[in-house]
Amino acid sequence: MTIDLGRPAVAATAVRKAYGDHVVLDGIDLDIPAGSVFALLGPNGAGKTTVVQILSTLIRADAGEMRVAGHDVVRDPDAVRAAIGVTGQFSAVDGFLTGEENLLLMADLNRLPRKERRQSAADLLARLDLMDAARKPAATYSGGMRRRLDLAMTLVGRPRVIFLDEPTTGLDPRSRRTMWEIIRGLVNDEGVTILLTTQYLEEADRLADRIAVLHRGKLVAEGSPEELKRQVGGGHVTLRFADPRGYDHAARTLDVVSRNDEARTLQIPSQGDVRSLRALLDWLDHTSLTVDELQVHTPDLDDVFFALTGNPVTEQEPAR
């Protein structure tokens, strides 16, 4: 597989889409270098899925220039389809067929040579940890298994650009972690380009080289995870003190972000790493202050949105 480094795998300018009066995308620009992972971060209804649907030729944009893998999305959709793979939010597997039959179906539709079909199916079943369930109908799979089969089906055609629309939404923490490992492996081993959408800052942070934040149909921020977090501000540690004396002492001595005198809690900036926590605990020990409760808070999507838009996620427009 050739990786055309330097050439964008996805390039889009001024993409607009509206349903009647409801503007879903209000002029989106994307520039995703080949071989990288790009995360589109936003709450429900921000327009993330619409971006994926437009770039994967499923629906048409009202306006804008879009090229995927070098091909124009509007003028040459079949060339785009031949280069991409899509794993959507809703599982796109045939529940009546077994996992193996689903993969063989994809092998046929991708016109793999007869000898390679079974090998490709077997490889993907092994890689996505589906060997034990290979002969069972997909309708009997758990959510995590369905999602893995879905991704395996996407990989049969060896796509150069992969769209993952909320790949871990609705999965339990363990399945989510497995999925992250698989996605990371894809990028490291095969050099594919991935555009993923997610509601979870942690997910974007783990997987993406660059993150763009989508808010009411516009990109309100873009950068590496570090750049974004710097914009957002770091996390903090919350300490609740047992007695007023200790509270006062700590409030005077420590670098405090905010305080609540009634609850006797202090917020202290911290990245939540072991070293700074140990330093804090050592100091508390040393000064013999009694702390009833300690909470470590890492920045999440709420913080990002609060920092970028002044609104928490819950107050976002409940769009489609």
Partner 1 sequence: MSSVSRTVSHAWADSATMLRRQLRHMLRYPTLILTAAGVPVVFLLLFVYVLGGILGTGLGGPSGGRDAYVNYVVPGVILMTVATAAQGTAISVAIDMTEGIVARFRTMAIARVSVLTGHVLGSLIQTLLSIAAVIGVALLVGFEPTADFGEWLGAVGVLVMTILALTWLSVALAMVAKSVATASNMLTPLMILPMMGSGFVPTDSMPAGLKWFADYQPFTPFIETLRGLLMGTPIDDSATLTIGWCALIALGGYLWAKKLYNREPNK
**What is the binding site for partner 1 (CB under 8 A)?**
19, 56-60, 78-79, 81-82, 84, 86, 88, 90-97, 101, 105, 108-111, 137, 150, 153, 157, 320
Quick one: 115 or 286, whose CB is closer to partner 1? 115
Is the CB of 78 or the CB of 255 nearer to partner 1? Answer: 78
- Of 7 and 60, nearer to partner 1 (C-beta) is 60
Cα–Cα nearest to 265, from 235, 300, 237, 288 = 237
Nearest to partner 1 of 110, 265 (CB atom): 110
* Least Cβ distance, residue 143 to partner 1 (angstroms): 13
Task: Using the structure block, give the residue that is written with the tokens 């437009």.
Answer: 54
Q: In whole angstroms, how close is the CB of 20 to partner 1 at the nearest point?
A: 12
Question: Closest separation between CB of residue 33 and partner 1, Å?
Answer: 22
Q: Which is nearer to partner 1, 97 or 257 (CB)?
A: 97
Least CB distance to partner 1 at residue 66 (A): 14
In whole angstroms, the minimum distance from the beta carbon of 193 to partner 1 comes to 16
Closest contact distance (angstroms) between CB of 140 and partner 1 is 12
Nearest CB to partner 1, comparing residues 36 and 87: 87
Single-letter residue type at 109: L
By CB neighbour count within 10 A (0-12 exposed, 13-18 middle, 19+ buried), where does 68 fall? Answer: buried
